[in-house]
Amino acid sequence: MKTLYIILLYILSLVLETTVFGKLSVFGAKPDLVLIVIVLVALHRGPLPGEIYGFIGGLLEDFVTFGSLGIQALVKTLTGFGVGFLRNKIEEENGFLLMLLVFFMALISGFAASLAKTFFSSYVFLSKDALRIVLAALYTMLLTPPVMILVKKIFAERK
């Protein structure tokens, strides 16, 4: 049942990213709500589920945004695995630490996706792209608390 809720949360995140936050972009930067979900799920579940959920979230994002198919899937898979690997080293109750983790993972995944696009297409990375990635990482970090509340409800123990 938790898997169904996570997939529904992915769909909700993608709908919000492409509609609401598409119109509320800051200098072309939009938050990556799917990344927030992947980071939080990987912290709860560990590396293997983190990479599986990362792949699913990234592939859904590739399909919805009509980007280069597979780039977000690859980046989000690695993100889910990496965060899941750090699971026992990060205190999940520290909201500020989670926001910083999301910020750095958004930076890393943004630059990794741009690097992959450069290798696999005619995409040229410019300095304005770096600014957009940093702004998107900040934007993503600021939206971590509401997503964190939803993910905590999904993983709350049923008594």
Under 8 Å between Cβ of 73 and 80: no
Angle ∠(144,61,84) on CA atoms, nearest 5? 55
User: How do the pLDDT tens digits run along the chain, 159 residues long?
Assistant: 788 888 888 888 888 988 888 788 788 888 999 999 999 999 988 999 999 999 999 998 888 877 778 888 999 999 999 999 988 888 777 788 999 999 999 999 998 988 888 777 776 777 778 888 999 999 999 999 998 888 888 887 554
Domain of residue 55: give its range.
Answer: 2-155
- For residue 132, which of 101, 105, 111 has the smallest C-alpha distance? 111
What pTM was estimated for this model as a whole? 0.89
How many other CB atoms are found less than 10 A from the CB of residue 112? 16
Give whole-number Cα distances, 124 to 32, 33, 115, in Å.
21, 25, 9
C-alpha radius of gyration, the chain, whole number: 15
CATH classification of the domain holding 119:
1.10.1760.20
Distance CA 100, CA 151 (A): 17
How many domains, the chain? Answer: 1
Residue 95 identity (one-letter amino acid)? G
